[in-house]
Amino acid sequence: MKWMAGFTKFWAYVSFGLVCGVILFLFGYVFYRGAGTISVEFLTEAPKGLVLGEEGGIFPAIIGSLFFTGTAVVLGGIPALASALYLVFYCQNKKVERLLHLVIQCISGIPSIVLGLFAYSFLVRDLNLGRCILSAGTALAIMILPFIEVRAEKAFREIPACMIQSSYALGCSRFYTITRIILPACRGELVSGIILGGCYAMGATAPMIFTGAVAYAAVPESLLSPAMALPLHLYLLLAQGATSMDTAYGTAFVMMAIILISNMLATIYARRSQKKWKRS
């Protein structure tokens, strides 16, 4: 049976090498092909030319993506933190807790395209908001709600129970305990969860195709106007054929750079607050 040990070892090393190779390839490929397109003009100008993306830059798409992401983070992040706090510090009933977990799991199971359908029917049509940042942002918010909730809940549960009870034992309220101890102690994990949630929202295309993102628009002025978004811009450039491949690679470069930087920031933040109290 010695071959099993050898085989497992071989398999583990090869698999992990493969995973690393894929990651390096994906980033390397996009950065290599896109680097030529990146310039100050590309980042700060609007698209020009007869065909989309033939000339000019992607500035409105960058700003548009920031608007979509910001809306999603605010609308999705706050209820996510609230339900995580509820589950850890308020909920006294095991059944309610289990139910809430199931609900959150189900929300995370809703495909993003279906969230787009929901936002279209409810916000774009029934509430008559039209295709706008708010409509699409709401769909994205629902998408990232469970994502942030799970991370926040995990961070809250890692705080030692006796620390929380020490605060209660001094007569301090939950509100005071949460704002003075819990949130500061988990700040790193929370910030990192929100950054990653934001990235997730920024990269999603499906929920915004028919709810707020458009092929061409100026820099948005309010949440009730439609806007361009990086992922949809990239998709449209590809869908129209091979005319604007350089712009496509440039757009992909920008998105990958944002992802890479955000992930690094998130890792650093998460590490900074990691279990200071566990050292002893």
Site for another protein in 182-241 (CB under 8 A): 184-185, 196, 199-200, 202-206, 209-210, 231-232, 234-235, 238
- Of residues 133 and 222, the one with the C-beta less far from another protein: 133
Distances, alpha carbon 111 to alpha carbons 114, 115, 193, 197, 232, in Å: 5, 7, 21, 16, 18
Could you tell me how many residues of this chain bind another protein (CB under 8 A)? 113
3-state secondary structure of 232: helix
Binding range to another protein, per CB under 8 A, among 41-49, 54-62, 82-90, 217-225:
82-90
Four-CA torsion 234, 236, 56, 24, nearest 10 degrees: 20
- Of residues 67 and 235, the one with the C-beta less far from another protein: 235
H/E stretch holding 125? none
- Of residues 6 and 222, the one with the C-beta less far from another protein: 6
Q: Are 227 and 212 in contact (CB under 8 A)?
A: yes
Q: Are 195 and 268 in contact (CB under 8 A)?
A: no
Identify the sign of the CA torsion 268, 143, 71, 133. Answer: positive
Residues paired with residue 56 on neighbouring β-strands, in sequence order: 47
Q: Are 220 and 226 in contact (CB under 8 A)?
A: yes
- Of residues 105 and 222, the one with the C-beta less far from another protein: 105
Rounded to the nearest whole angstrom, what is the least distance from the CB of residue 75 to another protein in the complex? 10
**What would the two tokens of residue 203 be?**
């990269």
- Of residues 94 and 222, the one with the C-beta less far from another protein: 94
Binding flag, residue 86, another protein (CB under 8 A): yes
The burial of 185, by beta-carbon neighbours within 10 Å (0-12 exposed, 13-18 middle, 19 or more buried), is given as: buried
Q: Which residues contact 4 (CB under 8 A, 6 or more apart)?
A: none
Residues paired with residue 227 on neighbouring β-strands, in sequence order: 213
| Contact set for another protein, span 2-61 (CB under 8 A) | 2, 4-9, 11-16, 18-20, 22-23, 26-27, 29-30
Residue from 38, 66, 70, 79 that binds another protein (CB under 8 A)? 79
| Contact set for another protein, span 156-175 (CB under 8 A) | 160, 162-163, 165-175
Binding flag, residue 125, another protein (CB under 8 A): yes
Rounded to the nearest whole angstrom, what is the least distance from the CB of residue 228 to another protein in the complex? 14
Residue from 31, 38, 63, 112 that binds another protein (CB under 8 A)? 112
Residue from 72, 73, 115, 136 that binds another protein (CB under 8 A)? 115
Residue with tokens 């993506």: 65
- Of residues 39 and 166, the one with the C-beta less far from another protein: 166
Rounded to the nearest whole angstrom, what is the least distance from the CB of residue 209 to another protein in the complex? 6
Residue with tokens 């811009």: 233
- Of residues 43 and 103, the one with the C-beta less far from another protein: 103
Q: Which residues contact 143 (CB under 8 A, 6 or more apart)?
A: 72, 76, 110, 112, 115, 200, 201, 204, 207
Binding range to another protein, per CB under 8 A, among 38-46, 53-61, 119-127, 219-227:
119-127
